[in-house]
């Protein structure tokens, strides 16, 4: 019984450490922003991809990339 309790506690601690490391590292996986502009026509938005400095090499060597989505209207409608 004591062995199984130790295994369970060890597995729980390992999962928590892996989750902390994963959440810390996910911020470094983003290569830029995808900005969505709906100021002209709400049904047909414009998309702008802004790549971070030095991220072009990471984009070319990976099969997929992560972008943050930011919805921003550049032209203010009155």
pLDDT level of residue 56 (50, 70, 90 thresholds):
confident
Alpha-carbon radius of gyration of the chain:
21
Beta 30-37 vs 66-71: how paired, if at all? parallel
Residue span of the structural domain in which 22 resides: 2-71
Q: Is residue 42 included in any domain, yes or no?
A: yes
Q: What number is the average pLDDT over the span 19-35? A: 80
**Number of domains observed in the structure of the chain:** 1
What's the pTM value of the predicted model, to 2 decimals?
A: 0.55
Q: Is residue 77 part of a domain?
A: no
Is residue 76 a part of any domain in this protein?
Answer: no
């Amino acid at each position: 019984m004591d062995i199984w309790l130790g295994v369970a506690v060890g597995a729980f601690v390992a999962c928590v450490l892996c989750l902390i490391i994963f959440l810390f590292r996910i911020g470094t996986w983003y290569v830029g922003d995808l900005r969505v502009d709906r100021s002209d026509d709400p049904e047909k938005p414009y998309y702008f991809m802004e790549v971070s400095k030095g991220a072009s090499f990471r984009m070319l060597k990976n099969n997929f990339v992560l972008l943050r989505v930011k919805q921003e209207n550049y032209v203010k409608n009155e």
